[in-house]
């Protein structure tokens, strides 16, 4: 490892950093797991190209073992899966860290499940895929804090997202067994990545369509919804007339029938 590190040409900071420091940073980057994303991006940005090359190697092995059956050894895609050339790190991170990939079974759409890889392995995978062709990258942390304009975010959400995901983010049905998933409790990073990459049947909302600032506003709105659920009381799943109507038919009419029976029954 040391040899490959020192043999790599340093792009910058070469004069200020000893080879030992690079190795130490690589070790931190490789082993500091624990799922803390903030820590992760910090170490990733601090890593040198050597770390990237290390990740790429690891990622290529992981890819060959877990993804290549469907997506092809060179990301070119097969009949079973689409090409991954140019999908970018954001797409891989979203699909793998929400557990949608690797696919458990073919069906109308890949569903969320516990992630099959560690954070470090996911980083290796997306670094590898992103190294093959450019694409949307991992979102910058400045857009994920939920400190945008919730009112503007709500307007953008109603225009661009609410038709599928429901105005309260409760999700909704699509055609032929597909559905738009619920957005409550989804992490800001995954919301951003989904907008930028358009996973599965979701359309792509690129930075010209919804700018990063606007994406941050939408995230702020969704985080606001998470913190302030349903001021009107029990939301019944936020599914509108379906669940509310069912509730009224069963409990409202049930109460009326019960009272009517009691009113007309003879006392004994």
Partner 1 sequence: MAQHDDGVTAPDDDAVHTGARTGTAIQVAAERDESPGIGVVQTDKVINPGFPPHNPRQTDLVPAKDKRAERQVAILFFLSIIGSIFALAAYIAFPINPGDFGSIRTNNLLLGLGITLGLLGIGLGAVHWAKQLMREDESVELRHGTRGTEATREKAVEVFTLGNEESGIGRRTLIRNSLIGALVLTPVPAIALFRDLAPIADPVYLLQHTMWKTGTRLTHDPTGVPIKASDVTLGSAFHVIPEGLLQRSDALEQKAKAAVLLMRLKPEDLHVSAGKESWNYDGIVAYSQICTHVGCPVALYEQQTHHLLCPCHQSQFDITQEAKVIFGPARRPLPQLPITVDSNGYLVARSDFHEPVGPDFWEREL
Positions 142 through 181 that interact with partner 1 (CB under 8 A): 155-156, 159-160, 163-164, 172, 174-176, 178, 180
Helix (H) or strand (E) holding 178: none
Q: Is residue 156 a contact partner of residue 217, using CB atoms and an 8 Å limit?
A: yes
Q: Which of 9, 65, 177, 262 binds partner 1 (CB under 8 A)?
A: 262
Beta bridge partner(s), residue 179: 173
Site membership for partner 1, residue 228 (CB under 8 A): yes
| Rounded Cα–Cα distance for residues 80 and 85 (Å) | 15
| Rounded Cα–Cα distance for residues 188 and 222 (Å) | 9
Instruction: Give how many residues touch partner 1 by CB under 8 A.
Output: 31
Positions 64 through 83 that interact with partner 1 (CB under 8 A): none
Residue 145 DSSP class:
S
Q: Which of 202, 213, 226, 236 binds partner 1 (CB under 8 A)?
A: 202
Site membership for partner 1, residue 261 (CB under 8 A): no
Sign of CA dihedral 159, 165, 170, 174: positive
- For residue 34 the two structure tokens come to 């624990």
Nearest to 212 by CA among 137, 161, 129: 137
Going by C-beta distance under 8 Å and a sequence separation of 6 or more, which residues neighbour residue 265? none
Min CB(160)–partner 1 separation in Å: 6
Q: Which of 200, 242, 254, 258 binds partner 1 (CB under 8 A)?
A: 200
Sign of CA dihedral 103, 107, 110, 114: negative
Q: Which of 126, 143, 192, 205 binds partner 1 (CB under 8 A)?
A: 205
Site membership for partner 1, residue 45 (CB under 8 A): no
Q: Which of 80, 209, 257, 260 binds partner 1 (CB under 8 A)?
A: 209
Site membership for partner 1, residue 201 (CB under 8 A): yes
Q: Under the rule (CB under 8 A), what is the footprint of partner 1?
A: 155-156, 159-160, 163-164, 172, 174-176, 178, 180, 198, 200-206, 208-209, 228, 231-233, 262-263, 266-268
């Amino acid at each position: 490892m040391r040899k490959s590190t020192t043999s790599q040409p340093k792009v910058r900071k070469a004069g200020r950093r000893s080879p030992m420091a690079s190795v130490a940073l690589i070790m931190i980057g490789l082993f500091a797991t624990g799922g803390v994303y903030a820590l992760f991006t910090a170490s990733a940005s601090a890593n040198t190209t050597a770390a990237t090359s290390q990740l790429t190697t690891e990622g290529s092995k992981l890819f060959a073992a877990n993804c290549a059956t469907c997506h092809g050894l060179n990301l070119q895609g097969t009949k079973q899966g689409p090409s991954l050339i140019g999908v970018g790190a954001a797409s891989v991170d979203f699909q793998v860290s929400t557990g949608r990939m690797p696919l458990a079974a073919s069906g109308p759409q890949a569903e969320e499940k516990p992630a099959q890889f560690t954070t470090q392995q996911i980083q290796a995978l997306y670094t590898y895929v992103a190294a093959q062709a450019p694409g949307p990258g991992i979102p910058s942390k400045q857009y994920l804090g939920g400190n945008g304009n919730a009112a503007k975010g709500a307007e953008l959400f109603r225009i661009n997202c609410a038709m599928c995901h429901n105005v309260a983010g409760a999700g909704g049905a699509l055609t032929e067994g597909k559905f738009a998933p619920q957005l409550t409790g989804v992490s800001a990073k995954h919301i951003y990545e989904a907008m930028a990459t358009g996973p599965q049947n979701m359309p792509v909302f690129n930075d010209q369509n919804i700018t990063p600032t606007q994406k941050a506003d939408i995230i702020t709105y969704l985080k606001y919804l998470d913190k302030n659920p349903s001021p009107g009381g029990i939301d019944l799943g936020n599914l509108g007339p379906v669940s509310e109507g069912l509730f009224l038919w069963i409990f409202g009419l049930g109460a009326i029938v019960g009272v009517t029976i009691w009113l007309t029954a003879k006392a004994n």
